[in-house]
Amino acid sequence: MKSTNYAVLIIAFLLLVSFSYSQWQPDVRLTNDPALSFSGEDRCISVNGNSIHVVWQEHRDGDAEIYYKRSTNRGDSWSTDTRLSSTPHFSGAPSIAANQSVVHITWQDQRTSGTLEIYYLRSTDNGITWGPEVGLTNDPQSSYYPSISVSGTLVYILWEDNRDGNYEIYFKRSTNSGANWSSDMRLTNNSAASNYVSAACSGINIHCSWQDTRDGSTEIYYKNSTDAGVTWSADARLTNDPAASTGSNITVTGANVNVFWSDQRNGNYEIYFKRSTSGGSNWGPDTRLTNAVDNSLNPCAFSYGPLTAFIWSDLRTGYYKVYYKASSDGGTNWSADLLLSQPGLFGSAFNASIGISDSAAHIVWNDNKDGNQEIYYKRNIFSFPVGITNNNSDFPAEFSLSQNYPNPFNPSTTINFQIPADGKRHAFNTQLIVYDIMGKEVKVLVNKLMQPGNYSIDFDGSSIASGMYFYRITSGEFSDTKKLVLVK
């Protein structure tokens, strides 16, 4: 037992090192125009398999407009810039989320009566063409800073709104991939200001965090819905300190909910973290993640499989730079702070966003290191696939695909498989794909070159209907298919 535990610890350590440092590649400048380009306050990058979608606020047309570009090969090359907003009025603070080939974008827009309203548009062909712009709010007062989250055909948008005389958090949803939308729903109700909401979802479970001044100081609050936004929990106060707690960012994977924010309780702003392993019912303690001589601001986090990582802007070098930190064990242990943007006393980097896939972490931010505010991109190609756990260091003697457990399941199940050593420990091209009973592809769980080992991977069926499905593995010349049943 001791040796097994020791091996697990070694694997966890190697995963953390791989996720943190392995192959961060050079900065790539995505925009090149004399006008200003700004990434938004909410997440401005979305990663889906090999496709990367980036959105930002651009001033090249004389006013602020929403622009977009994409890569379909994990960031090796990029499309041209595409202007998405269409009127000569301010359009800014974009947020993006993608699910398979459907890309959703929301932003704040001043085209109506001089007030800011929330707008939305989508692409159903992976960003090649775009549907019409849709106004989601229509009120004499302004609506600000939307945050979008998507799971299958469920699309959720939250924002702050002052139609009630002070800033409150509002919500609306679509259950058909953005074709139709519900009415606005007010989520907070107090005489103070509720600002800068951050949203994350897992199927019908929606989580949000925001900063709130109802207690006199600025604190981080949280609430959730377990029925796709029909009903909501009471507001939960996550921080309790006389100093300011601001700029929260939330991630979720299954029942694990992670909230990050900037906190002034130590004199300067530092990044703090809090975690729930019960879907938001109970919370662990506040954990300080940075300890710098100056401000650490605007965390943006992403959770994928065993990995939770975040990036932020940090002033410790005299200019704001983008830093990165990761945990592969649910936030118990964290890597050291890693400087990602160009070091030195030139250029300030802000509004960084992160997205993670099975094989890489991708980040974007705005930076004036070349004399003008431009959008930059950087990636880290992992040496170990995220979301796939290598269960031990023994090499199996043969290929195998195990029956998923539990089965039937709701909403998640685990699939185990083996890739043998062939005497030379060659890697094998491996695919593990879930299909429906008509043979239509539902989810690609694995599609990569894999070394010999014993593996397990979780499949989350939150976004698909109850029924019978099949999962098939091909690795080298081996193939096998098994049945799984989702019962909701």
- CB distance 237 to 210 below 8 Å: no
Please give the pLDDT value at position 275.
Answer: 96
Contacts of 69 (CB under 8 A, 6+ apart): 30, 54, 78, 79, 80, 81, 82
- Residue 160, token pair as written in the block: 């702050």
Least Cα distance to 304 among 263, 344, 256 occurs for: 256
Q: How many residues does the chain have?
A: 488
Q: Write out the H or E segment, with its range, that includes residue 13.
A: helix 2-21
- Taking the C-alpha atoms of residue 77 and residue 373, their distance in angstroms, rounded to an integer, is 21
DSSP-based three-state secondary structure for 20: helix
Strands 307-314, 296-304: pairing is antiparallel
Q: Which CATH number fits domain 388-486: 3.40.50.300, 2.60.40.1930, 3.40.50.720, 1.20.5.440?
A: 2.60.40.1930
Strands 185-186, 168-174: pairing is antiparallel
- CB distance 130 to 166 below 8 Å: no
Please give the pLDDT value at position 8.
Answer: 40
Please give the pLDDT value at position 301.
Answer: 96
Please give the pLDDT value at position 246.
Answer: 97
Please give the pLDDT value at position 128.
Answer: 97
User: Each residue of 133-155: pLDDT tens digit?
Assistant: 999 999 889 999 999 999 888 99
Please give the pLDDT value at position 188.
Answer: 97
Q: Which residues of the chain have pLDDT under 50?
A: 1-15, 17, 384, 393
* Domain boundaries of the chain, sorted by first residue: 2-381, 388-486
Please give the pLDDT value at position 178.
Answer: 96
- Taking the C-alpha atoms of residue 132 and residue 59, their distance in angstroms, rounded to an integer, is 21
Q: Which long-range contacts (CB under 8 A, 24 or more apart) does 220-224 make?
A: 220/245, 220/248, 220/259, 220/261, 220/274, 221/188, 221/194, 222/250, 222/259, 222/280, 223/187, 224/257, 224/279, 224/280
Q: Alpha carbon of 274 to those of 209, 236, 332: distances in Å?
A: 11, 13, 11
CATH fold label, 2-381:
Neuraminidase (2.120.10)
Least Cα distance to 101 among 441, 466, 446, 471 occurs for: 441
Neighbours of 74 (CB within 10 A): 17
- Taking the C-alpha atoms of residue 488 and residue 185, their distance in angstroms, rounded to an integer, is 27
